[in-house]
Amino acid sequence: MTSTISRITPTVTRVSDKTNWTFIEVETSDGVRGVGEATLYGQEEAMGALTRGVEGDLKGQPLSAIEALAETTSASTDQTQRAVISALEQASWDIRGKQEGKPVHELLGGALNKQIPIYANINRRTVDRSLAGFEASARDAIDAGFNKLKIAPFDGLYPDIGREGDALFSAGIDRIAATCEVAGPNVQVLVDCHWRLTVSRSEDLIRQAAEMGLYWVECPLPEDPDDCVDLARLRPLKDSLGVRMAGTEKGTNFNYFEKFIAAEVYDVIMPDVKYAGGIGALMRLAKLAHERGIDYSPHNPAGPLCHNATLHVAAVIPNLLVLEHQFDESPMFKDLCPGAVPKIENGLSPLPMGPGIGFSL
């Protein structure tokens, strides 16, 4: 007899002043529990309400009803809705893996990459935003074995701020330079701009990125898949200087990513398993990017379940560049489910080997 969905439960875990992790657990009639992550800070109440509504629709249905729901909402641009659907989709893979006794990467066709290159996102744990604070965080990540670090240095800056933004931009450049000085020649620095720059400031950053040898520049300008003109203006400069540019972390549907890929503005796309539709959606986007010669680096600065789910995808795609890891924001990353998250050593992570995603609440 085919098992059916018997219960869907959201759980919010307080991590820090900047972070809550939201998990959604699905239980089947034969007692198998799968879990996915829907972390979207500030939207916990809305996601809880959506989850309760979805439970009413899915209860008593076969697990395939989750896949059908993901398909019918696949064009949505509502990030809160997509976070809930993405978590349910992850949970369905988790259940399938547990039912078959296989890790998700085996269900996806088997691992091509058994050691996943990882970079440390040190931004949230850098509470001290002085140059000394950035330097200290960089040293901590390097001491932990990472050879790639990401910072978001442009505090308080936004595109329309005007001339008063010059000092904030300069402060960001100083933070980058200080981090690069600590990093030295053997550790690469990635810079996330969080859509805070203008075209002229982006061009300035790209020139300095070339001089400082940055690994990439991420999300310099506000993203609109229907208007990539400004991003396209940056392409000749970045290409001539050999600077890699990354983006698209906020995408919620295939069409969003397809438009950026067609516009050829990014060298790397960064879909997030929590918002893009789940594990299956990440696989389809990886295939699209691979066909167009674009590298793939899933956005992954969230909780341990999202990390494990994304590791499974990273294991099976041929155009993987590197995977993000939220470094040392909270000991809960390891302690919430002891032993579940593979240990990262020398900037590399092995794969989760338990059945399903390899994480339980």
Task: Answer whether residue 62 is part of any domain.
Answer: yes
What DSSP designation does 249 have?
A: T
- Tens of pLDDT along 228-270? 999 999 999 999 999 999 999 999 999 999 999 999 999 999 9
- Tens of pLDDT along 76-98? 999 999 999 999 999 999 999 99
Contact, 190 vs 215, CB < 8 A? yes
Contact, 149 vs 188, CB < 8 A? yes
CA dihedral 333, 337, 342, 346 (to 10 degrees): 30
Q: Are 84 and 192 contained in the same domain?
A: no
Backbone angles phi, psi at 146, to 5 degrees: -80, 140
- Tens of pLDDT along 102-130? 999 999 999 999 999 999 999 999 999 99
The Cα 130–Cα 127 span in angstroms is 9
- Tens of pLDDT along 327-361? 999 999 999 999 999 999 999 999 999 999 999 98
Q: Which two tokens stand for residue 268?
A: 């790397």
Q: Are 20 and 66 contained in the same domain?
A: yes
211: containing domain: 106-349
Task: Answer whether residue 90 is part of any domain.
Answer: yes
pLDDT at residue 177 above 70? yes
Contact, 179 vs 149, CB < 8 A? yes
Q: What is the mean pLDDT of residues 37-43?
A: 96
pLDDT of res. 1: 64
The Cα 272–Cα 296 span in angstroms is 11
Q: Which two tokens stand for residue 132?
A: 């000394």
The Cα 217–Cα 49 span in angstroms is 37
Q: Are 139 and 86 contained in the same domain?
A: no
Contact, 206 vs 217, CB < 8 A? yes
Last residue of a domain, one of 69, 84, 101: 101
Task: Answer whether residue 333 is part of any domain.
Answer: yes
Task: Answer whether residue 10 is part of any domain.
Answer: yes
The Cα 316–Cα 133 span in angstroms is 37
Q: Are 227 and 167 contained in the same domain?
A: yes
pLDDT of res. 356: 98
Helix ranges (H only) for 79-130 are 79-100, 104-107
Q: Are 269 and 308 contained in the same domain?
A: yes
pLDDT at residue 162 above 90? no
Q: Are 124 and 75 contained in the same domain?
A: no
Q: Are 43 and 93 contained in the same domain?
A: yes
pLDDT of res. 229: 97
Q: What is the mean pLDDT of residues 190-219?
A: 98
Question: Which three-class secondary structure state does DSSP give residue 342?
Answer: coil
pLDDT band (50, 70, 90) for residue 27: very high
Task: Answer whether residue 212 is part of any domain.
Answer: yes
Q: What is the mean pLDDT of the chain?
A: 97
pLDDT of res. 18: 82
Question: Which CATH number belongs to the domain containing residue 152 in this structure?
Answer: 3.20.20.120
Task: Answer whether residue 359 is part of any domain.
Answer: no
In the chain, % of residues over pLDDT 90: 98
Q: Which two tokens stand for residue 235?
A: 């392409």
Q: Are 42 and 118 contained in the same domain?
A: no
- Residues in a beta bridge with 148: 188
pLDDT at residue 22 above 90? yes
| The amino acid at 21 | W
Q: Are 226 and 170 contained in the same domain?
A: yes
- Under 8 Å CB-to-CB from 300, ≥6 apart: which residues? 272, 273, 306, 307, 310, 323, 324, 325, 326
Task: Answer whether residue 151 is part of any domain.
Answer: yes
Q: Are 155 and 180 contained in the same domain?
A: yes
pLDDT of res. 230: 98
Last residue of a domain, one of 77, 101, 125: 101
- Tens of pLDDT along 256-315? 999 999 999 999 999 999 999 999 999 999 999 999 999 999 999 999 999 999 999 999
Last residue of a domain, one of 36, 68, 101: 101
Q: Are 30 and 172 contained in the same domain?
A: no
pLDDT band (50, 70, 90) for residue 17: confident
| The amino acid at 85 | I
Domain count within the chain: 2
The Cα 175–Cα 181 span in angstroms is 10
- How many residues are recorded in the chain? 361
Contact, 202 vs 247, CB < 8 A? no
Q: Are 75 and 37 contained in the same domain?
A: yes
Q: What is the mean pLDDT of residues 191-208?
A: 98
- Under 8 Å CB-to-CB from 199, ≥6 apart: which residues? 221, 230, 233, 234
The closest alpha carbon to 355, from 98, 114, 90, belongs to: 98
Task: Answer whether residue 358 is part of any domain.
Answer: no
Question: Which CATH number belongs to the domain containing residue 59 in this structure?
Answer: 3.30.390.10
